[in-house]
Each structure stands twice: as C-alpha cells, then as structure tokens.
Amino acid sequence: MLVKMSSASLKQTQWYEYGIRFLLGGLATVFTGLVSARLGVAIGGLFLALPVIFCASATLIESHERRAKENAGLRRRRRGQQAAALDAAGAGLGSIGLAAFAATFSALVAANVIGAFATAMLVWAVVSVAAWWLRRKLRITSLIPQAKR
Amino acid sequence: MTEYVFRFVAGGVIVTAFAILGDVLRPKSFAGLFGAAPSVALATLSIAVVQHGPQYAAAESRTMIYGAAALACYSVAVCQLLMRFRFPALPATIIASVVWLAVAFALLGGFGGVAA
C-alpha cells in the first residue's frame, strides 16, 4: 500500500506541540485578516498561502526524527534534516493543489458558496495526491536504469 | 474584536486538524502535502464571504494563486537549505520566507491583483 496511517507519531507528539500549531494557525488567520483590511484584498490574498504553519511542522518533524534516531544510536542531525526536507518536498507538491484550490474557488464562489468550498477542497485533494503520485512514479522510473548500471 | 477572536479560534482549529492528519499519514513526503493545505484560506475565505460577499472572496482567492506559486518556490528553497547547505529546520524555514515574499510580490507586481 502506497499510503499508510500510523498513530505512532501522535504518541510522540507532546500536547504543547499542538498548542504551538493552534497558536500559529490562529495568529496567521488574524494576521491575514488584518493585512486584507489595511492593505487591500489583493495583498491579503497572497497571505492565504503563507507558509507560517510549515515552519512549526518542519521544526517539529526534525526534532521528532532526531529523538527517534538518538534512541536507535543513528546520526541524529542529518536524519532530522532529511525528514524535514521530505516534508518540504511534499509541501512543494501540495502547493500545486493549493493553486488549484484557489482557482476553483475563485471561479465558482459567485454562483454557489457551499459548492465552491466543497469543489475547491475536492480539487485540492485530487491535484495534490496526483502530483505526489506522479512525482513518485517518475522517481521510481528514473532510479531503475541507474540501478541496472 | 469578536471577529478577530473568531478568526483566531477558526484558524487554530483548522490548522491543528490538518496537522494531526499530516502526522498520522506515511510516507513523510505524502504527509508533507498537508503542509500546503488550505487551512488559513478556509477560515479566512469563509469569513470574507459572510462579511463582504462572494465577489470579495473571489478576488482574494485569485491572488492566493500567486501565494501558492511562491509557496512552491519556498519549499524548493527550504529543501536546498536543509540538504545542500545543511541548515537546521528552523533557520532554513525562516530564511526561505524571503523567497516566498519576493516571489509573491513579484507575481502580484507583474500580473496585478483584482480589485473587489
């Protein structure tokens, strides 16, 4: 199976780490509202894709990986960086889905608000997963000839 | 004031929900997709529709496309800082914010926004 669910990292995560994400998410939403009110809707729209949550996630992933590898006696720092880089690569692919979300919502919201939200979320999920799957397929294909050499 | 309290709670809840979903999914590159989930956008656009109407929300989501393109460049910059230059995650993500700001405002300057 390509994608799996695991509750192991939930056990690893401390309650305050969710508190940090809640705080950052809340602050980013308030900040976006303030930017729209003060600087206009065009600049406010940019900040809907602000990577503030990503900073917290990448740092937490790095520290979790370091902790896990420390227990296993492996190179902690490098593994932590690699885990955070994988997360960043995923976010890069997800940003294609985010752009598709914005384009779909923009096109449909005048006709039907609920329908625009539902369709935009569906488009975000489909485009993001498709981009990830395609990247994975291309990577596997490009690795096969190297392995044969 | 009530509006900003609502924004804070709605944004916090949606971001935490996507973060939990990202935490339980494997592999890590797939979970990373949730780092670019429209969490702040869902809360902000919902409030924008109620407060200012659909046209305002449509204009806001149009320039969000530039923000998403900037996020793609930001993610590449973070990867490079982590893997090539071996920065720890926190400084890498903070330094790469310069890339996000530069690309987002360059696209807005180049293609323009849409007034509501």
The count of other CB atoms within 10 Å of the CB of residue A1 is 5
> Is the CB of residue B17 less than 8 Å away from at least one CB of chain A?
no
Chain B partners of A98 at a C-beta cutoff of 8 Å? 36-38, 41, 64, 68, 71
B36 and B58 belong to one structural domain: no
Q: Which domain holds residue B18?
A: 1-52
Mutate to test the interface with B, among A13, A23, A35, A53 (most CBs of B within 10 A): A53
Domain termination residue (choose one: B16, B32, B52): B52
B30 and B64 share one domain: no
CA distance B35 to B75: 10
Residues B8 and B28 in one domain: yes
The values of phi and psi at residue B26, to 5°, are -130, 150
Looking at the fold, whether B34 and B7 belong to one and the same domain comes out as yes
The shortest CB-CB distance from A45 to any of B24, B25, B64 is to: B64
pLDDT digits (tens, 9 = 90+) for B1-42: 788 999 999 999 999 999 888 888 888 789 889 989 999 999
Kindly give the residue spans of alpha helices, DSSP state H, lying in B1-116.
2-24, 28-31, 39-52, 54-83, 89-95, 97-111
Are residues B47 and B59 both part of a single domain?
no
Answer yes or no: do B94 and A55 touch at CB < 8 A: yes
CB B19 within 8 A of CB B32: no
What predicted TM-score, i.e. pTM, was given to this entire model?
Answer: 0.89
Nearest to A81 among B11, B55, B86 (CB): B86
Number of domains in chain B: 2
Over residues A5-60, the pLDDT tens digits come to 877 777 777 888 889 889 999 999 999 999 999 999 999 999 999 887 787 788 88
Give every CB contact of residue B5 below 8 A, 6+ residues apart in sequence. none
